[in-house]
Chain A
């Protein structure tokens, strides 16, 4: 019996060894470190985050970790693994230093199954990474929407191969899930609620945002392109099969931030950007507007910036109950919108602003704003010439826009190193 046991054990060890050599030959000596909540866990964890070698896993046992200083990871190919977003909780309520809960500034890091709550600034910031995988992570400010909450929950910026799946983001005073100036992005199966912006993709290239549930934010899903930044001309963004509903929380972003301009009750907002597809989403019960397409509205002298949205396609979405109580008291954009719509808010709005030459000669077909097959959802656009002339109704209301047929965008693929967490 005993021999058999040993044999079995040896065989198992051997197979594990062989497996790890074949799958992951660079990291044969990968270690698994385990940490439990305790008086010294802050220092223990931070030390491990520094001393970890590529391939190592840091395992955070369930419990509440009370941390006073922000954590940081700068060693590539490390996995931080908890026991679940409701079980392993990193609590930063008493944070004294560090501008975020966790800062990652390296490549190929997996973060899975833990929560970061009440960070003094951002929840998890990732900068300059190639390969960052957020899986089943929760970031939350537990006192609900409040202007003193941190800006972003999940905050990858200037990164490549950004993968966000199964996460929950609650209470951020800017965006719950924010991807900025990044490239090759998948955001799927997440929940974002009670943030100013649920999900925001900003100045980024190649993003698939799908199957997310986005509700009770100020604005549900935002696709933005902004001037004066190192990476511009945000493009090739697909937003599909999401639910964006009842995003009617009062805007609680500190003034000065771009999202402080988002009206309460916005389902989807496209600002600037090119090659954006919005399809097969359920967008409903947003009290200002279900979907709006607008130009950048501030003055800028950035010569590389193009402020108008172009090559946008809105099709096969299910819209319902848009604009029942627009944010006209506190939001300029909602007020203008409401006046143009004469109090009857459409599901889809486009401000119609174009460069002068395009106002005169028309928008090139390949840059057109396509609206089609959204059942009977109302579409309202502004005719810029009529808008400038008095006594003419500039609002054009219908169900569709542009007959142009455009080649659909391709899907984004990311090689997630699942073998590291199997």
Chain B
């Protein structure tokens, strides 16, 4: 009797234990590893944060919410999935003409990928890297994780990485690229303002539109959703709003300025890394000279292409701004990093914008 009970006891105990472990693993899988976000160093593997329920399909863990931007930074035609995680019961605070002030422990997560063939209805994503921006005690820290061949997990690459890859675009052309995963310093170069690292994208003005949310199974304005989730106090925007630069219902000027704002304005503004150039392309800038109109280059070197001004109204081909967008020479091209290919659609937009400027 005793023996039997004893064995039953063990069996019961084992069952209980495995059950507990099972629930613990589910719990673990469903909760974010806040310690990994807040610790002084970066975990070696992306999976250690627990951001994704299904990494391959990029299905986020609960409380990790997807978001999109009105106008995106061009990164060699990669597609991007963006996610935000804010710790329980904490809020982001609205900042005029800037990104939200996010609380400690916030993570911004961005996965870069190409679709194998953009003509397919269900293309296969080729995950390249997932960048994280983590709000720690001493400010934002940036790092990138590079996906392994099987795309099961991504590994920290402090010094960045070069990926030679290709995809088929919507015209059916095979495009190949020497894609550069940025190193930690390069992350900071773009994300720096007044010597502090800050996020670039999640400004209220870039979020003020509807996207589909699978949890509530409907479309909703992102600011409204953030408000409902308790992430922000008021779903307001008081800035000059950026527009979707591909939206032809908007004026050419608004589209071009929005494009320049997100692609150039993080460095080319008075507090950015390119401040010494005197060329300011953020949305807030209103002085023609500083936007580039008849502005002489300062330290462009051969980046001037032998042209005299950043922008010559009505003459896109005489404008340094467009020349540098069209170059793939690292000593000339703009942006300086994060681009190996030309953004033909962006080039056309800026071409038309300058072409339509009156003197």
Interface residues of A (CB under 8 A from B): 43, 46-47, 49-51, 69-70, 72-74, 95-99, 103, 105, 119-122, 127-128, 147-152, 155, 157-158, 173-174, 178, 180-181, 226, 228-230, 253-258, 298, 301-302
12 A-B pairs within 8 Å (CB atoms) are namely A50-B184, A69-B162, A74-B189, A96-B330, A97-B340, A98-B330, A127-B276, A147-B302, A152-B299, A174-B301, A229-B298, A253-B301
B276 touches A255 (CB 8 A): no
Q: Please, which residues of chain A bring their CB within 8 A of the CB of B307?
A: 255-256
Say yes or no for B265: interface residue by CB 8 A criterion.
Answer: no
B178 touches A51 (CB 8 A): no
A72 touches B298 (CB 8 A): no
A43 touches B276 (CB 8 A): no
Pick the contact of B276 from A47, A95, A96, A181 — CB < 8 Å? A181
Q: For the complex, what is the distance from the CA of A157 to the CA of B289, rounded to whole Å?
A: 21
A151 touches B185 (CB 8 A): no
Q: How far is the CB of A188 from chain B (nearest CB, A)?
A: 23
Say yes or no for B275: interface residue by CB 8 A criterion.
Answer: yes
Q: How far is the CB of A377 from chain B (nearest CB, A)?
A: 33
Q: Please, which residues of chain A bring their CB within 8 A of the CB of B139?
A: none
Say yes or no for B300: interface residue by CB 8 A criterion.
Answer: yes
A178 touches B183 (CB 8 A): no
Say yes or no for B304: interface residue by CB 8 A criterion.
Answer: yes
Apart from A120-B329, A174-B301, A298-B296, list 19 A-B contacts with CB within 8 A. Answer: A51-B158, A69-B162, A74-B188, A99-B336, A103-B189, A105-B189, A105-B273, A121-B332, A147-B302, A150-B331, A173-B301, A180-B298, A228-B278, A230-B278, A254-B300, A256-B296, A256-B308, A256-B320, A302-B289
Chain A at the B interface: SS class: loop
A121 touches B331 (CB 8 A): yes
Q: How far is the CB of B285 from chain A (nearest CB, A)?
A: 13
Pick the contact of A228 from B159, B289, B300, B329 — CB < 8 Å? B289
- Contact A72/B289 with A147-B302, A256-B306 known, Cβ cut-off 8 Å: no
Q: For the complex, what is the distance from the CA of A158 to the CA of B299, rounded to whole Å?
A: 13
Closest to B309 in A: A256
Q: Please, which residues of chain A bring their CB within 8 A of the CB of B302?
A: 147-151, 173, 254
A178 touches B299 (CB 8 A): yes
Pick the contact of B183 from A50, A121, A229, A258 — CB < 8 Å? A50
B330 touches A47 (CB 8 A): no
B window 319-335: CB within 8 A of A: 320, 329-333
Say yes or no for B60: interface residue by CB 8 A criterion.
Answer: no
Q: Please, which residues of chain A bring their CB within 8 A of the CB of B275?
A: 158, 230
A257 touches B297 (CB 8 A): yes
Q: How far is the CB of A202 from chain B (nearest CB, A)?
A: 8
B195 touches A254 (CB 8 A): no
Pick the contact of A49 from B185, B290, B301, B320 — CB < 8 Å? B185
Q: How far is the CB of B68 from chain A (nearest CB, A)?
A: 28
- Contact A256/B159 with A96-B178, A230-B270 known, Cβ cut-off 8 Å: no
Q: How far is the CB of A262 from chain B (nearest CB, A)?
A: 14
Q: For the complex, what is the distance from the CA of A174 to the CA of B299, rounded to whole Å?
A: 8
Say yes or no for B337: interface residue by CB 8 A criterion.
Answer: yes
**A-B CB contacts (within 8 Å), total count:** 134
Q: For the complex, what is the distance from the CA of A157 to the CA of B273, rounded to whole Å?
A: 11
Q: For the complex, what is the distance from the CA of A63 to the CA of B49, rounded to whole Å?
A: 42
Say yes or no for B186: interface residue by CB 8 A criterion.
Answer: yes
B305 touches A254 (CB 8 A): yes
- Contact A69/B180 with A97-B330, A258-B296 known, Cβ cut-off 8 Å: yes
Q: How far is the CB of B307 from chain A (nearest CB, A)?
A: 5
A72 touches B276 (CB 8 A): no
A301 touches B183 (CB 8 A): no
- Contact A256/B305 with A96-B178, A128-B195 known, Cβ cut-off 8 Å: yes
Q: Please, which residues of chain A bring their CB within 8 A of the CB of B301?
A: 121-122, 150-152, 173-174, 253-254, 257
A97 touches B158 (CB 8 A): no
- Contact A256/B300 with A96-B178, A228-B295, A230-B270 known, Cβ cut-off 8 Å: yes
Q: How far is the CB of A252 from chain B (nearest CB, A)?
A: 10
Q: How far is the CB of B170 from chain A (nearest CB, A)?
A: 27
Say yes or no for B199: interface residue by CB 8 A criterion.
Answer: no
B window 173-197: CB within 8 A of A: 178, 180, 183-186, 188-189, 192, 195
A158 touches B276 (CB 8 A): yes
Closest to B161 in A: A43
B183 touches A72 (CB 8 A): yes
Q: Please, which residues of chain A bring their CB within 8 A of the CB of B300?
A: 151, 254, 256-257
Q: For the complex, what is the distance from the CA of A149 to the CA of B158, rounded to whole Å?
A: 30
Q: For the complex, what is the distance from the CA of A70 to the CA of B289, rounded to whole Å?
A: 31
Closest to A127 in B: B273
Q: How far is the CB of B349 from chain A (nearest CB, A)?
A: 23
Q: Please, which residues of chain B bring their CB within 8 A of the CB of A302?
A: 289
Say yes or no for B303: interface residue by CB 8 A criterion.
Answer: yes
Closest to A230 in B: B275
Q: How far is the CB of B284 from chain A (nearest CB, A)?
A: 16
Q: Please, which residues of chain A bring their CB within 8 A of the CB of B160?
A: 46, 69
Q: Please, which residues of chain A bring their CB within 8 A of the CB of B189?
A: 72, 74, 103, 105
Q: For the complex, what is the distance from the CA of A120 to the CA of B320, rounded to whole Å?
A: 18
B330 touches A99 (CB 8 A): yes
B337 touches A46 (CB 8 A): no
Q: For the complex, what is the distance from the CA of A180 to the CA of B278, rounded to whole Å?
A: 12
B188 touches A257 (CB 8 A): no
